[in-house]
Structure 1
Amino acid sequence: MDAIVLVGGQGTRLRPLTYTRHKSLVPLCNRPAIAYLLEWLGRSGFSRAILAIGLNNEDLATAYPGGPAHGIEVVQVLEHQRLESGGAIRNAVHEAGIEGRFVVVNGDVFADFDFADALRAHEAAAADLTLALFEVDDPSPFGVAVLDEHRLVTGFIEKPPPGTAPGRLVNAGIWIFEPGLVEEIPPGAVRVEETLFPSLVARRRKVLGYQFKGIWADIGSPARYLALNQTLLEHGFGRPVPPGAVVDSTAHVSGASLGEGCRVGPRASIRDSLLWESVRVDAGATVNGSILADGVQVGEGATVTGAIVGSHAVIEPHATVPQGTSIEPRTRYHASNDS
């Protein structure tokens, strides 16, 4: 079976991080986020991963030009205009010559569960479409599915206001399609979540909601991206400090992931943070609950709390970067910026 991986988005909610790197290539425990997804697809028995690559995503196209990668055969399908999820699925099916049942996966999700069980449920229900669902504490940022007693979807509520959702089962961005459904996707740049899915439900077609346990998250925001990295660290994915990083013996690193080539100076403290490659944290500096992209420099005695720092930015010595600050790539944050 083939899997279409939707990687056409621009990652606007992860800016400034995605100004210099595609969202699917941002690191999780020192590996590209998409690597985990491709490995899961390979373990789950898929024959091909069709990457539906959108406009202006040359770095992703270069990183995965086609051929074997992470245990699965990767095929590129390039989009020459913005297609949204519906157009991307239709284009990928035709360009890659997909025949028969297939699966669609949003490229910004991390999933680790038994897909074979989902497929068995899909077949047992004779479903036209199966949506993987995951229970979350706060469903307000997601699309919520409403199910009947047979686990068939009867409705959708998109991003309900906090406290108003009828349940906590959200669309996990993993969908099993029967082959004929692609011809029912409306023409043009449309989202299947807003067109095909509700249309099938309204016409009483069988749309199964498959709830799974395990690990699931998307990296659609800096907070969720950082939280997922913390979850993966807790579950033993990757190394918090890779061999290529250098941490002074008097420095303190806790709940943090450091990339290759990072340098942490004497008495520096890094907690609950994610550092990309070649980040330098000088003596006595503190980084807490922050994401620092590649090549960032944190000067001596500086404090960075709850911030997102773009590639090759420089935080000057003794500067204080407060909660919620976003620093653009290749800029300098001066001590005089402190409020």
Structure 2
Amino acid sequence: MNNYVDYILEQAKNLLAIDSPSGYTAEVTAYLLEEYKRLGYKARLTGKGGVLADLGGEGEAILLAAHVDTLGGMVAEVKGDGRLRITNIGGMNANNAETENVRIRTYDGACYDGTLQLIDASIHVNGKYSDTARSWDTVEVVIDEPVSSKEDVEKLGIMTGNFVCFDPRTTITSSGYIKSRFLDDKLSTAILLGYAKYLKDEHITLPRKIYQHITVFEEVGHGGCGSVPEGTVEFLSVDMGCVGNGLACTEREVSICVKDSAGPYSYQTVTGLIRAAKENGIGFAADVYPFYGSDADAALRAGYDLRHGLIGPGVYASHGYERSHKDGVENTLKLLAAYIG
């Protein structure tokens, strides 16, 4: 499946290059609609702005979901000195966001560059630099424009509510490691595109109805709460797999989540995923995620009567500068193909 992995990595780079914090996703979903069309599938926007694609098949349906919204920020205040106080979108953390380049997106369509810095960021001036706890009250956006007052900033069209998008800094090493912000979950969105391409190119006869839903509000908790097609009996989130202390998964494997902060996943689905991985020699790990929630969890909370599961390539340093590997991508793709049949 190496040719599909190459396609997935190319799609991941394209998606990561498009700013899409939760609530600001129209550009990236337009890209996805065009890509599904190019692959030969019917896809449409949902009411919430996600993308729902019909991959074909008949009978009881499985819904594969990934999310294309990311963490980010929003202007909370234009300060008197021309700096911006921001509020986080989703789990963006000030401790690892400091010194990152950002883009401020205004309501009139303009875009300005800036950097998230500690207030009074010069070590040669600020004697408390190392002692200051990083929080959204102690960092600020320094705009890369000649501004020194609130009035200067407002003349640019920057105001409260503008989205602040963080540079992903995407790179793929010669050894196959994928490093970027927002691999959660643009990497798995690209994997779903790769799976769709695989089905089409290999002329696979599907044993059941398959949909893909690319959601746009997962990072704020309600991405999977709607747009589950009629006839769906199983919801499989394809999101990032956790890598860290106490967990078995590495970046080179596909993670099968057995339980997260919402509780255990459906035993039938988890058993089927593990069996498919073992029978097909797929590198996998089963893990409990201590601080995690998925679109599948959101669907159940919304009242849908479904079996649910969660898989994804292992990702280290989640919600920071994340790292995965192309082997984890391939193992995730192989597990999708083996499990669905």
Q: TM-score, normalised by structure 1?
A: 0.30
Q: TM-score, normalised by structure 2?
A: 0.29
Larger relative contact order (C-alpha < 8 A, sep ≥ 6)?
2
